[in-house]
Copies of this chain bind each other. A is one copy, B any other.
Amino acid sequence: MKKLQTTGPLVVIGGAEDKKDDCAILRRFVRLAGGGKARVLVLTVASQFPDEVGAEYLDVFRRLGVKQVQALDVRVREQAGEPGLVEAIEQATAVFFTGGEQFRITNLLGGTAADQALHRRHEQGLVLGGTSAGAAMMSGTMIVEGRSEATPRVGNVRIGPGMEFMRGVIIDQHFGQRGRSGRLLSALAQYPHQLGIGIDEDTALVVRGDEFRVIGCGAVTVFDGGAATYNDVLEVGHHGNVAICGLRLHVLTAGFSFDLQTRTPRPPAPHPPEAAAGTQHETRDDQVSPRAEPLS
């Protein structure tokens, strides 16, 4: 297993985070960024609609009390080397990546002066946030694209290097909502040393060093392929179904922590019988009320 290196905190969001009501996840991002004193830079590089998406995030961050917030866009690689963008990264306390296509982020920013500035500042404590495509690109190994609701196969997923803010993991987003278990397993079967992390919508990891904590409305599903006793990727090729045996699986909800080094989940409170009644709920401050919907 490679060293998992994360210096500044990361807020890695599975997409579709609340921007209208509580805004619990974005509020957490703002708090980490310095609250009223935050200087937030929104990067819309992933999006096909940078103006609309940028305006939406400017609006929500202002509502959350951020006085200094700007949105910048990159359409061609030259723009990622411009002094204005690099200067904005240098001055920011936090950078937020919107959704769109993750391959746009790595393709347009990867290796540029902006990329270097992001990493340098992140190692100095810059807060990074990203949703959907902006979450996918955080990892060392990125799912570029792939088929949802599918049987695990090598050919069902295209993989490439991410922006490497969170190493040793493969992140998938909109996880429960788009039925992406097979897609993430398609990636993990090939690279079982990576930890597979599937993040539901309106749900996020807050990563600090070698630990993440779950916040938000949904679940974070962790696949530990290191525990696998068998896979037949080398035999079945690109379009054959892949078998994998003995994976370890964790479904984590708000308040859970996870140690990325030991690959161990930790529940929100000391586990009964020792724990006093009530403490379980007090530590569940991250829990956003889940929405009850009728069965379908």
B-binding segment of A39-47, A101-109, A246-254:
A246-254
Chain B residues within 8 Å of A200, by CB: 151
Within 8 A of B (CB), among A156-194: 156-158, 176-182, 185, 189
Contact B254 A241 (CB under 8 A): yes
**Across the two chains, which residue of chain B brings its CB closest to A225?**
B249
Residues of B within 8 A of A148 (CB): 179
| Cβ contact of A247, chosen from B145, B178, B181, B248, cutoff 8 A | B248
A54 within 8 A of B: no
| A77 proximal to B (CB < 8 A) | no
**A223 contacts across to B, CB distance below 8 A:** 249
**B-facing mask of A198-238, CB < 8 A → 1, else 0?**
00100000000000000001110101000000101001100
1/0 contact string of A132-148 vs chain B (CB within 8 Å): 00000000000001111
Q: Check A155 for interface membership: any CB of B closer than 8 A.
A: yes
In the complex, A236 Cα to B147 Cα: how many Å? 32
* Size class of the contact patch on chain A: 35 or more
A244 at the A/B interface (Cβ < 8 Å)?
yes
User: Which residues of A line the B interface, CB within 8 A?
Assistant: 145-153, 155-158, 176-182, 185, 189, 200, 217-219, 221, 223, 230, 232, 235-236, 239-254, 256, 265, 267, 271, 280, 287, 290, 292-293, 295-296
A-B contact pairs, 21 of them (CB 8 A): A149-B178, A149-B179, A151-B176, A151-B200, A151-B219, A152-B251, A158-B295, A178-B179, A179-B180, A217-B241, A218-B241, A219-B241, A219-B243, A232-B267, A235-B280, A239-B290, A243-B253, A245-B250, A245-B267, A246-B248, A247-B250
